[in-house]
C-alpha cells in the first residue's frame, strides 16, 4: 500500500477501513540467505538496502522484543556529519545524503528536519580544533560554516552572553544537520523492507549460533533454529553478550547514556545546539519538547537507566548556556545502552567465523549513522567486501595501530 | 466577583481573601485554595485547550495527575508554562493565562483541527507531507511546528535561585495519606530517623477530601492531630510541598521541595525550590491511588471530571464545578461522591451506574445498568445522553459529571529500576510486583489497600517490617473499611471519539487504528498514538489504552503489560536540577597567586580550564591586543619578563622507589637523573599515544617534583595513582599534588639571572657555573623565605622558574617588578607565553591532542628501548610508525603579510585540494615579532624530509588559502645557546 | 550509587572516577608478552552483563583505587576492596 | 627574617569574617599544614614516630586528633595531614621531616588549602546544602573529605552540631567562600 496525502484523505472519508498493518507478522522460515540479528534502526536499514539495492529478498530480521525498541527508540534524534577524521567523515556524509532522500526512498515520512546543528566554541584551542574539523568536513564534500560571536548572538539571542563562566567565542555550524522523528525511522525501514519481502520476526531471541568447522550455519532462537547463508549482528549495546555466544571478546564496553525531554513548549530553538564547555546538547521536537542530553554515566551498565549526578551535570550545562530553560519542566528521563568502542568509532567487519558478520561499536552516535550503517552492512553481507566509505571500520585496526580516535581519548571507552 | 460555586465547610481560610487574575479577569479566593478550586468557586470551568484538536477543557482531577487545566502561571521572566491549576497554590496577586489558543480561550481558531480530526488520526503525518520533497521543510513542517507545544517560555533567564541539599534517614515515607501517617507514627515512636514527604501543601492525602470519621473524629482532623504530634518529634522531618521524583540506585531518592512557589517571589537569599538527594536506608511508598476514568463519546467537556476529584473539591475546597451534577460510575465510590455533594446542597441530577444491581438512594435518582453514551455543551457540559438498561435513552441536564471507573494504585516509583507491576484480577488493576528498588516497600492504596482502615493497617505493618521492629503492633484507629468491588469497565461500547489521553487527544478510535496497523506492543501503541506522553505522563490514560489494546489483541491485560514508568514522577523545573551551578558559578574559579596584583595592573584574563590567567597586560595607548602581546614578547626576549605559571600541575613524588616509578611513567629515562637536576619528560598512554609532557626535578635522592601541563594536571595525577596502586603496589612511592601550595613564576630573558640575583639570598650561587641549565634547588629569597628554583625555559631564553609559598606570591611578584625596574621588567601573559613557545617549537595542548605519538612530535628517539615504560610496547605498532607519518614542522608564509591559521590543512603546492590529497594540518599559529610575520606549527606527512618545500595552507571554512614554506619548528635560537647562557 | 569503601564506609559514587575493568591491573609482562597479549590487554573487554570487577578511583576522597564488584544489570555491588593493600590501619 | 608580606587565600591582609544570624564563617589563615605519608614497609615505625608529635595514636580512617603541638587528620591509607599554628610552625614540613626521618614522606601543604571555621547552633542546616555528609552521625573528631560545589574539601567536626572546620583548595577560596555564604543566606 502506497502512503500519500490522497490516501489519507480517501481513508478519512471511508472510515479508515483500508489501512493494513505496516508490516506482516510472519513465522520464521527454516532458512534464509541472510539473517540479521537485531530489529533496531541499523538491522532494519540493513534489511531494506539488502532488498532494495542489493536485490536480496530471502532475508529475515529477528528481534528479541519489539522492533525499534533499542537505541533507535531512545535517542536524541540528531543527524549530522561534522566529523574530523578521514576514516569517519566520508561515511557520515554518505549517511547524511541518504537521510536527505529518505522519505521518498521509504514512502514514509520520518520528518527529516535539516534545521542545522551549532557547536559552540568557548576557547581559542577549541576554535583551532573546530576550524580544523570544519575544513576536514568541506574537504570531504560536506558543508560547514564558521560563525563569529556577532553571528551567534544574532541567530541565538537567548544564549547566555551576559554572565557566562566560559564565554561563547564563536561556533561551527552544519546547516544540513538536524533531527529526525526517531521511531519513524525504524518503522519506515521495517515497512519498506517488509514490502520487499523481508521477514521481520519480533519476540524471537537468539540463544546461540550454530557453528561447524569455522562456518556459521544459522542461529538457534527461542522460536527454533533458523538456517542462514550469512548472519549479520547489529545489536548495539548487547554486542558483547551476543558475540560471546560465538566465542568472541570485543573491543567494546556497554555504557548507559541518559536522555531527557521537557514538557511541550511553543517553538524556541531553531536547531540543534551543543555547549562546548560542558555536557549539554539540545534540540526541540516537532511536538515542542526540548530533547536534550549530555555525557554518559561513565560506568559499565546494561540497566537502561542512569543516576542523578549525570542528570544534574547535564542540567547544569543547560542552565549555564541557556538560563531561560530554568522554569521549563523536565518531563521524562531514560537510558540506553551504548556500545562504546575503544576509539569511539564503529566496526563493520567480518569475524573469525565464516558467514558471521558484525556491526557495532557505535557509541552514542549510532542514530545519525543508521542509513549508511545499513547500506554499508548490506554491502558487506551481499558482496563480502566493505563499502567504500566504511573500509576503516575493521576489528584489526587496534592490532595494527590504525585507531580512529576523534576525541583523542585512547583506549578508555567511557571517555569517548 | 462573587464565588457563586462556593460551598460550606472545607479547609480554606475564609477570614482572608486573595485576589488573582485568569486571562486578565480578576477573581477572589481564599488561602488553602488551588488555582483550580478558586476558579471553580468562581464558576469558571473552561481552563484550557487540548494539544491537537484544541478542544475546550476544564480540570479532570484535583491533583498532580491533571491533563487539562494547564496554565501559564506568573508573567515576565517568571512565566511558568504548563502549570497545573489543580496544584498551583493560590497566593494574593497570582496571575495566570490560558495557553495553546488564539485569539482567546473561548474562541480558538485552531479548533478547526477538531473539525478535521478525521484526517488527523494517529500517525497521519508519517503517511503524507512527502510530496513534493522540498515542501516538507518549507511548508508542512513550519505549520506543524507553529502548532506545536502548549505553553511558552519567557525567553528570559530564570531570575530565581535553586538549591541542592542532602539528607539521610532510616526511613523515607513517600506520601502523607492514611498509610504514610500511620507508618510515620509507627517508625517515629520507635525512635527511627524518619522523613515524611508529600507533594501536597497540606499533608493528609485523601483524608482531607473525605467526610468519614477516624477514631470518632473527622478524618482531616485526625490527620492534623497526627501531623501535630510528628512535628514535635526531633527524629522526624516533615517535608510538605515535596515531590519525590525518582528512585535511584542504592537507596538514593530525588525530591523537589517547593520553597517559594506559593509566594509571589522568593524572599531575599532564598531559593525557589530545593532538589534534595535523600539517602534512605529504607523507603516506604505510600503514594495512594489515582481514580480512573471511563471512556465515552465526548467525555472531555469542561465540567466532566473524576468523581473523587469532584468530592475533593467539595469537601476540602468547598466548591463544585456546577450546582447541578451527575455521576457516572461502575463502583460504590461514585455514590460516595453523590452523597457528599448532596449533603452540601448540590443537586444530584442522577447517578448513572453501569451495574444493574447498583444500590438505590432516597436522596437522588440512580439509573441502574445505564451508561453515558454522549454529552453536549460547547464550552462546558450542559447535558449527558444516557442509554438506560431497557435500551431507551434519556437526557440528563447537568453542569458537571463525575466519572468513576475504579482506582489504579500509584506504582510509578516501584518501576524506576525497571521492575514491572503485576496485574491483580481481584482488584482489576496493576499492583507493585516483580522486583522493586532494593529497600523499597509499598503500603496503602499504592499497594492495593484501598480502604482507609486497610491503609492505616498496611502503613503500620510495612513500617514495622521495613525497620524490623519487634513486639506487639499498636492498634490502628477505627476507620472506614468498605470492601473493594472494582470490576473492569474501560469504555462504553460503540464509542469512537472517546478520549483516553485528553491532553494529547488520543481517542479509542486511535487505539483501534494503531492495532489495525500492527502497532500492538504497548510501546508501539504509545509511540504511534502518543498515548501517555503528555505532561501528565498518562496517569489517567494509560490503563484505558492498554486495556482496549488487550481486548483487540485478544490478550489479557497482564500479557500486554505496561510501558515503563520513568522519572520524574511529575515534571520538575530544569533549574532545580542545576541548582547554583549556573552563570559565573557554573564551575569553580581558580585564581593564581598573582591574580589580585594582575587585576590592579589591568590585565585581561582568560579561562584556562577552571583557572583564570592573565592573557596580556595592556598599557595606556595600546588599542589592540596584538600591540600588548608583541611588546611583551619583544621586551622579554630583549631583557626580562615575568609570567605566572602556577597553573602548571605540580606533583610531589617521594619514596625510595621514586626514580623507578618515574622511569615507568615517562618514556625516556629518569633512573640516573642526578640530584639537583631537572629533565624534560614525555608521558605516553598505554596505547602508545603521547599523554602529557613536562619536567621532573630531583630535589633529593628520594624526592622529585613533577610538573604537568595545566590542562592535564588532574588526569596525570590519576594516571600516576593508577600505576602506583594497580601496577606497582609494592613500590615505595608516595604522591601528593602541590600545585596550589606554591606560587611559581617564570622569569625569562637575558637579564633574568641578574634580576633574580637581586632577590635570591647571597648564599645561593645561581651563576651559570653554580646553577647551570636544567638545574634545580631549594633556596631562600628576600632574606630567608624558603623557595624553589628551576633553571628551565619554555620561551627559549635564559630563564628560571621560581616558586614560593602561595601566600607570598603576591608580594614576590610586586618585588620582582620593583627590583626589575632597572631592566624594564615586563609582566607577560598567556598570549606572549604562547608566541614564545611557538617561536621555540615547543609542543603544547594543540600538539598533544591525544592522537599524536612521540614520533609525530619529533621525539621518536626519546622512547627508550632499554627499559619498559607505559606505552612503549604499543607505540611500536606499524600504524603508528608509517614511513610517511605526520611529523611536527614549522611553517612560514611565502608572503610575510599573509595569515597563518591554526586548523588549516596542508596541501601540495599544486594538484587537487581535497581530503584525498591532505598532507597534514596546522596546530598552532602566532605572529612572531622577532620574525616579523606569522608562523605556525603543524603536522606534515613525512615532514622530517620536506624542509624548504612549498605548500598550500587551505582553510575553506575561514575562506583562506596561503602559500607557506616548511621550516624547522625551532624558529628562534635553533642551537639553544640562549638557554645555556 | 553508593560504594562501601573498605576504610570509609558508604560513599557517594560521585566522589569517584571510574577507571574501567579491573583486568587492567594484569598488565602483560614486558619480558615475555607477545603483540597479541598487549592488544588483548589494551583493547578487548569481557563486558559482562552481570557481576563485573572494575576500578573506581576515590579522587574526591582518600585517593584509594578500589576494586568494586558490581552487577551491570542491576548495579548491585557485592564486593569492594583496596587495589593496593594498605599497611596496618589501626 | 624575610620581608615579604603574605595575603590570605581570599586576597586580604586579614582574615575574612561573615555572619548570618547566629552562624559565623571565619577564614583561618594561620594554619600550617603538612602531609605525612608512611613509607612502604615502614608504616609501624611511622606511626610510632608520630605518636609523640600528636600526643596520641595516629588517627584511624575518618578521624582526627586535636592535641598540641600537632593536630592531625587521616587523609588516606597510611597518610595524614598535620596541622599547627602557622605563627610558630611555618617550617612545619622541615620540622616533621627531622622527626620522622626516613619513615615518612613529608610534603608542605600550608598554602595548598584555604581554611574556614563555620560555627553556630544551626550549621547543620547550612552543611546539608553543601555536602553529602550524614550529619546525623557527624561527631567531634570526625573528618570527611567530600565535595562542596565540585570542590574537594575536608570537613572536620570540631564540636558536634556546633562547629566545623573546612579545608578547601586555596586557588578556589573565592568560589568556596561564595558557596558557603550563599548556603548560609539560604538556610538561615
Q: What is the CATH number of the domain that holds C23?
A: 3.30.2270.10
D69 and D139 assigned to the same domain: no
**Chosen domain end from B54, B87, B115:** B115
Is residue D12 in a domain?
Answer: no
Distance from CA of B264 to the nearest CA of D (A): 18
Is residue D11 in a domain?
Answer: no
- Do C20 and A253 lie within an 8 Å CB cutoff? yes
Is residue C89 in a domain?
Answer: no
Q: Is residue B486 packed enough to be buried (19+ CB in 10 Å), middle (13-18) or exposed (0-12)?
A: buried
D121 and D160 assigned to the same domain: yes
**Chosen domain end from D62, D84, D110:** D110
- Note the CATH number of domain A5-81+83-108+182-250+345-415: 3.50.50.60
Neighbours of B794 (CB within 10 A): 21
Per-residue pLDDT averaged across A147-163, rounded? 96
Is residue B60 in a domain?
Answer: yes
DSSP state of B176: -
D102 and D162 assigned to the same domain: no
Write the pLDDT tens digit of every residue in B898-920: 999 999 999 999 999 999 999 99
Residue D84, pLDDT above cutoff 50 = yes
Q: Taking all residues of chain A, what is their mean pLDDT, rounded to a whole number?
A: 97
> Is residue B70 within 8 Å of A288, Cβ to Cβ?
no
Residue B590, pLDDT above cutoff 70 = yes
b/e burial code for range B62-78 (CB count within 10 A of at least 16 → b): bbbbbbbbbbbbbeebb
Q: Is B546 left (phi over 0), alpha (psi -120 to 50) or beta?
A: alpha
Instruction: Give the containing element (helix H, strand E) for B613.
Output: strand B611-616
A153-157, A230-234, B563-567: range with lowest mean pLDDT: B563-567
Chains that touch D (3 or more CB pairs under 8 A): B, C
Phi, psi of B798 (to 5 degrees): -55, 125
B111 and B206 assigned to the same domain: no
CA distance linking residue A130 with residue B955, whole number of Å:
11
Confidence of residue A21 (pLDDT cuts 50, 70, 90): very high
Neighbours of A27 (CB within 10 A): 9
Distance from CA of C52 to the nearest CA of B (A): 16
Q: What pLDDT does C90 receive?
A: 38
CA distance linking residue A133 with residue B44, whole number of Å:
58
CA atoms in the 13 A half-sphere facing the CB of B795: 34
D106 and D116 assigned to the same domain: no
Q: What pLDDT does B430 receive?
A: 96
- Do A131 and B418 lie within an 8 Å CB cutoff? no
- Supply the range of the domain harboring residue B440: 162-289+410-467
- Does CATH number 3.30.9.10 belong to domain A117-178+253-341? yes
Per-residue pLDDT averaged across C14-21, rounded? 97
Distance from CA of D61 to the nearest CA of B (A): 18
Sign of CA dihedral D42, D47, D48, D50: positive
Residue C8 near chain D (CB below 8 Å): yes
Residue D43 near chain C (CB below 8 Å): yes
Q: Is residue B780 packed enough to be buried (19+ CB in 10 Å), middle (13-18) or exposed (0-12)?
A: middle
Q: What pLDDT does B387 receive?
A: 97
Strands (E), B33-92: 48-49, 56-57, 70-73, 80-84
- Do A398 and C21 lie within an 8 Å CB cutoff? no
DSSP state of B359: P
Please state, in angstroms and as integers, the Cα–Cα distance from residue A355 to each residue in A49, A352, A397, following that order.
Answer: 19, 9, 21
Share of residues in chain A with pLDDT > 90 (%): 99
DSSP state of B565: P
Is residue B90 in a domain?
Answer: yes
Neighbours of B148 (CB within 10 A): 20
SS3 B893: strand
Is residue C76 in a domain?
Answer: yes
CA distance linking residue D25 with residue D146, whole number of Å:
19
- Supply the range of the domain harboring residue C76: 2-82
Is residue D5 in a domain?
Answer: no
Q: Which residues, in sequence order, are bridge partners of residue B255? A: B244, B276
Residue B87, pLDDT above cutoff 70 = yes
Residue C34 near chain A (CB below 8 Å): no
CA atoms in the 13 A half-sphere facing the CB of B666: 24
Window 5-64 of A, Cβ < 8 Å to B: 5, 7-9, 12-13, 16, 19-23, 25
Instruction: Give the containing element (helix H, strand E) for B627.
Output: helix B625-638
Residue A25, pLDDT above cutoff 50 = yes
Share of residues in chain A with pLDDT > 70 (%): 100
Q: What pLDDT does B429 receive?
A: 95
Q: Taking all residues of chain B, what is their mean pLDDT, rounded to a whole number?
A: 96
pLDDT: which is higher, A76 or B418: A76
Closest Cα to residue B669, out of B903, B536, B866, B853? B866
Q: What Rg, from alpha-carbon coordinates, does chain A have?
A: 21
CA-nearest residue to B719 within chain C is C19
Chains that touch B (3 or more CB pairs under 8 A): A, C, D
User: Which three cell numbers, joined as nine digits, stand for A187?
Assistant: 518503522
Strands (E), B749-885: 776-781, 785-790, 799-805, 826-827
CA distance linking residue B320 with residue B313, whole number of Å:
6
CA distance linking residue B25 with residue B2, whole number of Å:
13
Write the pLDDT tens digit of every residue in B392-443: 999 999 999 999 999 999 999 999 998 899 999 999 999 998 789 999 999 9
Confidence of residue C87 (pLDDT cuts 50, 70, 90): low
Neighbours of B237 (CB within 10 A): 17
Phi, psi of B80 (to 5 degrees): -115, 105
Per-residue pLDDT averaged across B646-672, rounded? 97
Q: For chain D, how many residues are written?
A: 188
Task: Compare CB distances from B718 to C27, C39, C57 and report the shortest one's residue.
Answer: C57
User: Which three cell numbers, joined as nine digits, stand for B462?
Assistant: 510495612
Write the pLDDT tens digit of every residue in B463-500: 999 999 999 999 999 999 988 888 899 999 999 899 99
Per-residue pLDDT averaged across A247-274, rounded? 97
Is residue B913 in a domain?
Answer: yes
Domain count, chain C: 1
> Is residue B602 within 8 Å of B617, Cβ to Cβ?
yes
Instruction: Give the containing element (helix H, strand E) for B226.
Output: helix B219-231
Residue D37, pLDDT above cutoff 50 = yes
Confidence of residue D1 (pLDDT cuts 50, 70, 90): confident
- Do D44 and C88 lie within an 8 Å CB cutoff? yes
D101 and D134 assigned to the same domain: no
CA distance linking residue C34 with residue C23, whole number of Å:
17
DSSP labels, A23-49: S--PPPPSEEEEEEE--SHHHHHHHHH
Give the domain ranges of chain A: 5-81+83-108+182-250+345-415, 117-178+253-341
> Is residue D110 within 8 Å of D34, Cβ to Cβ?
yes
CA distance linking residue B552 with residue B382, whole number of Å:
33
Is residue C44 in a domain?
Answer: yes
**Chosen domain end from D110, D132, D165:** D110
Cβ-based contacts of C59 with chain D (< 8 Å): 152
Please state, in angstroms and as integers, the Cα–Cα distance from residue A105 to each residue in A99, B832, C34, following that order.
Answer: 10, 56, 50
**Chosen domain end from B79, B95, B115:** B115
Closest Cα to residue D124, out of D184, D177, D178, D63? D184
Is residue D69 in a domain?
Answer: yes
Q: What pLDDT does B133 receive?
A: 78
Is residue C88 in a domain?
Answer: no
- Supply the range of the domain harboring residue D155: 17-29+112-187
D36 and D24 assigned to the same domain: no
Write the pLDDT tens digit of every residue in A339-384: 999 999 999 999 999 999 999 999 999 999 999 999 999 999 999 9
D85 and D116 assigned to the same domain: no
> Is residue D83 within 8 Å of D167, Cβ to Cβ?
no
Write the pLDDT tens digit of every residue in B613-626: 999 999 999 999 99
Amino acid at each position: 500500500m502506497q502512503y500519500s496525502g490522497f490516501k489519507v484523505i480517501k481513508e478519512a472519508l471511508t472510515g479508515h477501513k483500508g489501512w493494513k498493518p505496516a508490516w506482516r507478522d510472519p513465522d520464521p522460515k527454516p532458512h534464509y540467505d541472510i539473517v540479521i540479528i537485531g530489529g533496531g534502526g541499523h538491522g532494519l536499514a540493513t534489511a531494506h538496502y539488502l532488498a532494495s539495492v542489493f536485490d536480496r529478498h530471502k532475508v529475515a530480521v529477528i528481534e528479541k522484543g519489539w522492533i525499534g525498541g533499542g537505541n533507535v527508540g531512545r535517542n536524541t534524534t540528531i543527524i549530522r556529519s561534522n566529523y574530523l577524521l578521514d576514516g569517519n567523515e566520508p561515511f557520515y556524509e554518505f549517511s547524511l545524503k541518504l537521510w536527505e532522500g529518505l522519505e521518498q526512498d521509504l514512502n514514509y515520512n520520518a520528518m527529516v528536519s535539516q534545521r542545522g546543528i551549532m557547536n559552540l566554541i568557548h576557547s581559542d584551542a577549541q576554535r583551532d580544533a573546530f576550524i580544523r574539523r570544519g575544513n576536514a568536513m568541506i574537504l570531504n564534500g560536506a558543508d560547514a560554516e564558521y560563525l563569529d560571536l556577532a553571528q551567534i548572538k544574532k541567530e541565538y539571542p537567548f544564549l547566555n552572553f551576559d554572565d557566562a563562566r566560559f564565554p561563547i567565542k564563536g561556533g561551527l555550524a552544519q546547516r544540513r544537520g538536524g533531527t529526525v522523528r526517531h521511531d519513524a525511522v525504524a518503522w519506515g525501514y521495517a515497512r519498506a523492507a517488509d514490502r520487499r519481502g523481508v521477514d521481520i520476526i519480533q519476540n524471537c531471541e537468539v540463544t546461540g549460533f550454530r557453528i561447524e568447522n569455522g562456518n556459521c550455519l544459522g542461529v538457534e532462537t527461542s522460536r527454533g533454529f533458523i538456517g542462514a547463508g550469512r548472519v549479520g549482528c547489529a545489536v548495539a549495546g548487547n554486542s558483547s553478550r551476543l558475540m560471546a555466544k560465538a566465542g568472541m571478546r570485543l573491543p567494546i564496553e556497554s555504557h548507559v547514556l541518559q536522555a531527557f525531554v521537557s514538557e511541550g513548549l511553543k517553538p524556541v530553538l531553531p536547531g540543534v545546539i551543543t555547549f562546548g564547555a560542558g555536557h549539554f546538547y539540545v534540540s526541540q521536537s516537532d511536538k515542542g519538547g526540548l530533547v536534550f542530553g549530555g555525557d554518559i554515566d561513565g560506568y559499565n551498565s546494561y540497566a537502561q537507566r542512569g543516576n542523578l549526578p549525570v542528570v544534574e551535570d547535564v542540567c547544569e550545562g543547560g542552565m549555564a548556556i541557556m538560563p531561560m530553560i530554568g522554569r521549563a519542566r523536565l518531563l521524562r528521563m531514560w537510558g540506553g545502552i551504548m556500545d562504546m568502542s575503544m576509539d569511539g568509532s564503529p566496526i563493520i567487519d567480518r569475524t573469525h567465523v565464516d558467514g558471521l558478520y558484525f556491526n557495532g561499536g557505535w557509541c552514542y552516535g549510532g542514530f545519525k549513522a543508521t542509513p549508511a550503517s545499513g547500506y554499508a552492512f548490506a554491502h558487506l553481507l551481499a558482496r563480502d567486501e566493505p563499502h567504500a566509505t566504511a573500509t576503516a571500520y575493521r576489528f584489526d585496526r587496534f592490532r595494527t595501530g590504525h585507531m580512529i580516535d576523534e576525541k583523542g581519548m585512547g583506549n578508555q571507552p567511557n571517555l569517548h | 466577583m462573587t464565588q457563586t460555586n462556593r460551598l460550606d465547610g472545607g479547609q480554606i481560610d475564609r477570614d482572608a481573601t486573595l485576589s488573582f487574575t485568569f486571562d486578565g479577569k480578576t477573581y477572589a479566593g481564599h488561602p488553602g485554595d488551588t488555582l483550580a478550586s478558586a476558579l471553580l468557586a468562581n464558576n469558571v470551568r473552561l481552563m484550557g485547550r487540548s494539544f491537537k484538536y484544541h478542544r475546550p477543557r476544564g480540570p479532570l482531577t484535583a491533583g498532580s495527575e491533571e491533563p487539562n487545566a494547564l496554565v501559564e502561571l506568573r508573567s515576565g521572566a517568571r512565566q511558568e508554562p504548563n502549570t497545573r491549576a489543580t496544584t498551583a497554590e493560590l497566593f494574593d496577586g497570582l496571575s495566570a493565562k490560558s495557553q495553546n489558543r488564539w485569539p482567546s480561550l473561548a474562541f480558538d481558531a485552531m479548533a478547526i483541527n477538531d473539525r478535521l480530526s478525521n484526517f488527523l488520526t494517529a500517525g497521519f503525518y508519517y503517511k503524507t507531507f512527502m510530496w513534493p520533497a522540498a515542501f516538507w521543510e518549507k511548508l508542512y513542517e513550519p505549520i506543524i511546528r507553529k502548532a506545536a507545544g502548549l505553553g511558552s517560555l519567557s525567553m528570559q533567564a530564570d531570575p530565581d535561585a535553586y538549591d541542592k541539599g542532602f539528607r539521610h534517614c532510616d526511613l523515607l515515607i513517600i506520601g502523607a495519606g492514611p498509610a504514610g501517617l500511620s507508618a510515620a507514627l509507627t517508625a517515629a515512636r520507635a525512635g527511627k530517623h524518619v522523613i515524611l514527604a508529600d507533594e501536597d501543601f497540606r499533608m493528609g492525602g485523601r483524608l482531607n477530601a473525605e467526610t468519614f470519621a477516624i477514631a470518632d473524629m473527622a478524618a482531616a482532623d485526625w490527620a492534623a492531630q497526627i501531623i501535630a504530634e510528628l512535628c514535635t518529634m526531633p527524629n522526624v522531618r516533615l517535608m510538605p510541598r515535596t515531590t519525590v521524583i525518582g528512585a535511584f540506585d542504592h537507596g538514593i531518592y530525588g525530591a523537589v521541595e517547593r520553597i517559594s512557589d506559593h509566594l509571589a517571589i522568593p524572599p531575599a537569599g532564598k531559593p525557589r525550590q530545593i532538589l534534595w538527594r535523600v539517602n534512605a536506608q529504607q523507603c516506604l511508598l505510600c503514594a495512594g491511588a489515582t481514580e480512573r476514568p471511563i471512556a465515552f463519546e465526548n467525555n472531555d467537556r469542561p465540567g466532566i471530571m473524576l468523581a473523587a476529584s469532584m468530592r475533593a473539591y467539595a469537601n476540602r475546597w468547598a466548591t463544585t464545578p456546577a450546582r447541578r451534577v451527575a455521576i457516572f460510575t461502575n463502583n460504590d465510590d461514585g455514590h460516595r461522591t453523590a452523597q457528599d455533594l448532596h449533603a452540601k446542597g448540590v443537586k444530584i441530577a442522577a447517578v448513572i451506574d453501569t451495574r444493574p444491581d447498583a444500590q438505590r438512594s432516597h436522596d437522588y435518582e440512580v439509573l441502574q445498568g445505564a451508561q453515558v453514551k454522549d454529552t453536549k455543551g460547547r464550552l462546558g457540559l450542559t447535558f449527558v445522553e444516557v442509554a438506560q438498561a431497557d435500551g431507551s435513552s434519556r437526557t440528563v441536564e447537568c453542569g458537571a459529571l463525575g466519572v468513576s471507573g475504579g482506582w489504579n494504585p500509584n506504582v510509578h516509583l516501584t518501576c524506576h529500576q525497571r521492575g514491572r507491576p503485576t496485574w491483580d484480577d481481584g482488584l482489576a488493576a496493576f499492583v507493585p510486583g516483580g522486583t522493586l528498588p532494593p529497600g523499597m516497600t509499598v503500603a496503602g492504596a499504592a499497594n492495593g489497600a484501598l480502604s482507609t482502615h486497610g491503609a492505616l493497617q498496611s502503613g503500620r505493618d510495612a513500617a514495622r517490617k521495613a525497620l524490623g521492629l519487634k513486639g506487639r503492633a499498636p492498634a490502628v484507629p477505627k476507620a472506614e473499611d468498605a470492601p473493594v468491588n472494582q470490576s473492569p469497565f474501560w469504555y462504553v461500547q460503540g464509542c469512537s471519539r472517546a478520549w483516553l489521553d485528553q491532553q494529547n487527544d488520543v481517542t479509542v478510535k486511535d487505539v483501534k487504528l494503531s492495532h489495525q496497523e500492527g502497532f500492538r506492543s504497548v510501546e508501539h501503541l504509545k509511540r504511534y498514538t502518543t498515548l501517555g506522553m503528555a505532561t501528565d505522563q498518562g496517569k489517567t490514560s494509560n490503563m484505558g489504552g492498554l486495556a482496549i489494546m488487550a481486548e483487540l489483541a485478544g490478550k489479557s491485560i497482564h500479557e500486554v503489560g505496561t510501558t515503563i514508568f520513568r522519572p520524574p514522577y511529575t515534571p520538575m523545573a530544569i533549574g532545580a536540577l542545576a541548582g547554583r551551578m549556573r552563570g559565573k558559578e557554573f564551575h569553580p574559579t581558580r585564581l593564581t597567586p598573582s591574580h589580585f596584583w594582575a587585576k590592579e595592573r589591568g590585565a585581561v584574563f582568560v579561562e584556562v580550564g577552571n583557572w583564570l590567567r592573565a592573557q596580556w597586560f595592556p598599557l595606556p595607548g595600546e588599542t589592540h591586543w596584538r600591540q600588548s602581546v608583541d611588546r611583551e614578547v619583544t621586551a622579554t626576549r630583549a631583557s626580562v619578563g615575568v609570567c605566572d605559571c602556577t597553573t602548571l600541575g605540580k606533583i610531589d613524588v617521594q619514596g625510595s622507589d621514586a626514580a623507578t616509578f618515574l622511569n615507568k611513567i615517562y618514556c625516556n629515562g629518569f633512573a640516573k637523573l642526578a640530584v639537583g637536576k631537572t629533565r624534560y619528560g614525555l608521558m605516553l598512554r598505554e596505547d602508545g599515544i603521547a599523554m602529557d609532557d613536562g619536567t621532573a626535578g630531583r630535589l633529593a635522592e628520594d624526592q622529585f617534583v613533577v610538573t604537568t601541563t595545566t590542562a592535564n594536571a588532574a588526569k596525570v595525577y590519576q594516571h600516576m595513582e593508577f600505576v602506583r596502586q594497580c601496577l606497582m603496589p609494592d613500590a615505595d612511592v608516595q604522591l601528593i599534588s602541590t600545585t596550589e601550595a606554591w606560587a611559581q613564576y617564570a622569569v625569562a630573558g637575558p637579564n633574568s639571572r641578574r634580576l633574580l640575583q637581586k632577590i635570591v639570598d647571597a648564599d645561593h650561587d645561581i651563576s651559570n657555573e653554580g646553577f647551570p641549565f636544567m638545574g634545580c634547588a631549594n633556596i631562600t629569597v628576600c632574606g630567608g623565605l624558603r623557595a624553589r628554583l628551576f633553571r628551565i625555559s619554555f620561551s627559549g631564553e635564559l630563564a628560571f622558574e621560581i616558586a614560593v609559598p602561595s601566600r607570598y606570591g603576591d608580594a614576590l611578584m610586586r618585588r620582582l617588578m620593583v627590583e626589575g625596574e632597572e631592566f624594564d621588567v615586563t609582566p607577560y601573559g598567556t598570549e606572549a607565553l604562547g608566541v614564545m613557545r611557538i617561536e621555540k617549537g615547543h609542543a603544547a595542548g594543540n600538539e598533544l591532542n591525544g592522537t599524536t605519538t612521540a614520533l609525530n612530535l619529533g621525539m621518536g628517539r626519546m622512547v627508550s628501548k632499554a627499559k619498559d615504560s607505559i606505552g612503549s610496547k604499543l607505540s611500536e605498532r606499524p600504524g603508528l610508525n608509517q614511513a610517511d607519518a605526520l611529523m611536527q614542522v614549522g611553517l612560514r608564509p611565502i608572503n610575510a603579510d599573509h595569515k597563518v591559521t591554526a586548523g588549516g590543512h596542508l596541501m601540495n603546492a599544486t594538484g587537487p585540494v581535497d581530503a584525498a590529497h591532505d598532507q597534514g594540518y596546522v596546530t598552532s599559529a602566532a605572529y612572531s615579532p622577532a620574525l616579523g610575520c606569522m608562523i605556525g606549527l603543524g603536522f606534515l606527512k613525512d615532514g622530517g624530509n620536506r624542509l624548504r618545500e612549498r605548500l598550500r595552507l587551505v582553510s575553506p571554512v575561514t575562506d583562506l588559502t596561503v602559500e607557506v614554506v616548511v621550516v624547522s619548528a625551532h624558529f628562534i635560537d635553533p642551537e639553544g645557546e640562549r638557554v645555556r647562557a | 550509587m553508593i560504594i562501601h569503601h573498605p576504610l570509609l564506609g558508604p560513599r557517594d559514587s560521585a566522589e569517584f572516577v571510574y577507571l574501567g575493568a579491573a583486568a587492567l591491573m594484569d598488565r602483560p609482562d614486558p619480558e615475555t608478552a607477545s603483540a597479541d597479549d598487549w592488544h588483548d590487554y589494551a583493547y578487548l573487554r569481557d563486558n559482562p552483563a552481570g557481576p563485573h570487577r572494575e576500578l573506581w578511583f576515590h579522587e574526591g576522597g582518600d585517593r584509594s583505587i578500589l576494586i568494586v564488584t558490581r552487577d551491570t544489570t542491576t548495579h548491585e555491588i557485592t564486593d569492594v576492596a583496596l587495589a593496593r593493600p594498605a599497611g596496618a590501619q589501626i | 627574617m624575610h620581608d615579604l608580606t603574605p595575603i590570605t587565600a581570599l586576597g586580604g591582609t586579614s582574615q575574612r569574617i561573615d555572619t548570618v544570624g547566629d552562624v559565623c564563617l571565619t577564614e583561618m589563615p594561620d594554619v600550617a599544614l603538612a602531609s605525612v605519608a608512611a613509607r612502604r614497609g615502614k608504616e609501624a615505625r611511622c606511626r610510632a614516630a608520630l605518636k609523640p608529635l600528636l600526643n596520641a595514636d595516629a588517627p584511624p580512617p575518618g578521624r582526627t586528633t586535636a592535641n598540641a603541638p600537632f593536630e592531625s587528620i587521616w587523609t588516606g591509607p597510611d597518610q595524614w595531614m598535620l596541622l599547627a599554628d602557622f605563627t610558630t610552625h611555618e617550617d612545619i614540613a622541615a620540622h616533621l621531616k627531622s622527626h620522622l626521618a626516613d619513615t615518612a614522606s613529608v610534603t608542605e601543604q600550608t598554602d595548598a588549602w584555604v581554611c574556614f571555621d563555620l560555627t553556630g547552633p544551626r550549621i547543620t542546616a547550612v552543611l546539608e546544602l553543601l555536602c553529602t555528609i550524614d550529619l546525623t552521625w557527624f561527631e567531634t573528631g570526625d573528618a570527611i573529605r567530600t565535595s562542596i560545589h565540585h570542590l574537594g574539601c575536608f570537613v572536620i567536626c570540631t564540636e558536634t552540631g556546633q562547629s566545623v572546620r573546612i579545608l578547601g583548595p586555596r586557588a578556589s577560596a573565592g568560589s568556596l567562600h561564595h558557596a558557603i555564604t550563599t548556603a548560609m543566606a539560604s538556610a538561615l
